[in-house]
Amino acid sequence: MQKSAELKLAVRDYECDLQGVVNNAVYQNYLEHARHEFLKGNGIHFAVLASEGINLVVTRIELDYRASLVSGDEFVIQTRLEQVSRLRFAFHQTIIRTSDNTTMLDAVVTGSGVNASGKPFLPQSLLALMADMSA
């Protein structure tokens, strides 16, 4: 079990827009990928859950854009998971440029889960992980 995780990525040119910087929406791709990798590192496979009809869903995202990643930048995504209520989780995520340790973006991603019948539901594996986090 990891209390938090770091994922190292680099900007790909197709992620940059006509301003010459990474497009705002692409940061959500980065963050989602980091969350899924974090979960996978703890034995929770997003795609497998989805194929079983269990969908983790984001209900709210707050993104503070502090500086812009550009072509060639390497960066680290820090991901930390917290349980905020019985059926609600929050990921705290930060993107840091490797070259100078600058924080580029802070994010809080709140979510919940639904099962195949559309009822609020979090898989036992995720509940156990969150309990470990707060231990």
Q: At its nearest, how many Å lie between its own copies and the CB of residue 27?
A: 8
Q: Which one among 3, 4, 8, 24 touches its own copies, defined by CB under 8 A?
A: 24
Least distance (Å) between residue 112 CB and its own copies: 10
Non-local (6+) Cβ contacts of 38 within 8 A are 2, 4, 5, 7, 79, 81, 91
The footprint of its own copies on residues 45-74 (CB under 8 A) is 45-47, 50-51, 55, 57-65, 68, 70-72
The residues that are catalytic are 17
Q: Please report whether residue 103 would count as binding its own copies according to CB under 8 A.
A: no
Chain positions contacting its own copies, by CB under 8 A: 12-14, 16-20, 23-26, 28-29, 32-33, 36, 40, 45-47, 50-51, 55, 57-65, 68, 70-72
